Structure 1
Amino acid sequence: MATDPSGIPVPDPTETLARVVESTAQLIATAEQFDDAAVREPSLLPGWTRGHVLTHVARNAEAVGRLLTWAATGEETPMYASPEARDAEIEAGAGRTAAELLADVRLTGEHFAVQAARLTEEQWQNEIMGRRGGKQQAGWLPWWRLEEILIHHVDLNVAYSPAHWPEYFTEPELQMIAARFSNPVFTPESPAFRLLSEDEDGTDDRVYGVLCAPEDAGVPIVRGPSAALVAWLIGRSNGDGLNVEPHGPLPQPPAWK
């Protein structure tokens, strides 16, 4: 299995793509319940309605699709022309009807899945440039899409919550977030802390370090289920239910970008 520069194994793209298709279908099932009034209601993201979230999910499918094109052809094809262009696309599409938003999410999701399924094993090894900077293997692209779908499903502000995230997502995602937050390019002022992911039976607890080694007992450790830790780290919860040792307030995690 290939690894990225952080040493984390690249998730199998074929297996992850199947999970993208499944998770997209679940998000679409949620969106099918919305009428025109519902898509104009607030999401969990400040300043965004559900229409903004659904538009972003659709535009993200196209953006990651451009990176698939890069991987397949070798021709540099950035996700977005600029951050301003990305924001303008989302704003322009947010006010559409529920039916239009639903069709957009469905069609772009289907096109992404078809496009990704065409990549060969060799093409998944090619390097592309992600939105967060730095070259990485194209094999990460299905995971990035899965991340968008599962997180933004929560942002739709319905019954779907971080507790619904599957463990096949939360445990690897926790490791990836710890590695990302340990990169000073992204987190120049972050405090050091550790994360202890606790299984229900306690037999396979795992520790990850943010700007420290996992075994560094000199920094605080935050304990809890992997889904709760991920939700807190990416700003989808205030950390209720997590425990800190030594006892005290939760450390301030870096900004999720």
Structure 2
Amino acid sequence: MIDHAHDLASVRIASDRLLIAAAALDNAAVTEPSRLPGWTRGHVLAHLARNADALVNVLEGRPMYASAEARDADIERDAPRPLDVQLADLRDSAARFQNAGATPADWARTVELRNGVVDAAWRVPFRRWAEVELHHVDLGIGYELEDLPAEFVTREIDFLAERFRGHRDVPATSLADDEGRTWATGGGADGGPIAVEGSAADLLGWLAGRRDGSALRVAGGQLPTLPAL
């Protein structure tokens, strides 16, 4: 079982790092495009705040979001807010998530996320950690995939390789980073085996839809096109 307390501490560190970096922005920068198509930096910050509250809902046994439409509407509503409001909301929602995580609970229980996805409660803090780290990169303010904590990078590759394992649209694919770590994914589509090698940051960027994979070394076929997360 994953150490949820360790992951909660990692979420706190990542959230503080993001808040310090975002505080260097100004109101104009919040309205500028992020690296996510169609989203400004304000959209990213608003999403992070609402995601924290949504995961509190998960931990407390409520639906993650009232509906997909409500989730999107909340992000659109909150995206144009000035920087100080964004930062206060992000800080307060992060504290609510930490408080929910500190409440004694059965961490082996099953919880429900979006779209009927279920998972063990002990994996929820890592899911939040991933949201904070990857969306910090998405802000485009100097924090890159290469700056992510090494532990997080390895575990997120683990998570995404597992997510795509057996996927009907992904051929059998082996992954290897420059440190010699290996993973297997795909296997549900014709073709392969395909071998993909590169830096851990580039592998994560491709798996997470943050890089096109052009820096990766590919043998046995073309680099697979991965489904959207």
TM-score where L is the length of structure 2: 0.93
Structure 2 residue corresponding to 1:30, chosen from 12, 18, 21: 21
Work out whether 1:211 is the aligned partner of 2:184: no
Match of 2:137 among 143, 147, 154: 154
Deviations 1:207-256 (A, max 9, x none): 322227xxxx951110112221111112111113211123x542212222
Structure 1 counterpart of 2:209, one-letter code? G
Alignment of 1:6-155 (within 5 A): 11-70=2-61, 77-120=62-105, 123-131=106-114, 133-155=116-138
Percent identity between matched residues is 40
Q: 1:234 matched to which residue of 2? A: 208
Q: Is the 8 A contact 1:175 1:208 kept in 2?
A: no
- 1:55-87 C-alpha deviation (Å, 9 max, x unpaired): 0000000000001112xxxxxx11001111100
Number of residue equivalences: 227
The CA deviation at 1:183 is 5.0
Kept in 2, the 8 Å contact 1:171–1:226? The answer is yes
Task: Tell whether the 8 Å contact from 1:232 to 1:238 is kept in structure 2 after alignment.
Answer: yes
Aligned partner letter, 1:79: M
Q: Is the 8 A contact 1:198 1:206 kept in 2?
A: no
Give the 4+ runs in structure 1 shifted more than 6 A: none
Per the alignment, in what secondary structure is the counterpart of residue 251 of structure 1?
coil
> Which deviations, in whole Å up to 9, do the C-alpha atoms of 1:70-124 show, x marking residues without a partner?
2xxxxxx11001111100000000010011001110111011112211233xx11
1:183·1:211 contact (CA, 8 Å) conserved in 2?
Answer: yes
Corresponding letter in the other structure for 1:66: N
Residue 6 of structure 1: aligned partner: none
Deviations 1:160-181 (A, max 9, x none): 0111111211111112111111
Kindly indicate which of the two structures has a greater share of residues assigned to strand. 2
Q: Tell me, yes or no, if the aligned pair for 1:191 and 1:252 is still in contact at 8 Å.
A: no
Alpha-carbon distance in 2 for matches of 1:44, 1:142: 24
Q: Report the equivalent of 1:191.
A: 171
Contact 1:167 1:227 in 2 (8 A): no
Cα distance, 1:189 vs structure 2: 2.4
Q: Distance in 2 between matches of 1:206 and 1:190?
A: 17
C-alpha RMSD of the superposition = 1.7
The unaligned stretches of length 5 or more in structure 2 are none
User: SS of 2:114's equivalent?
Assistant: coil
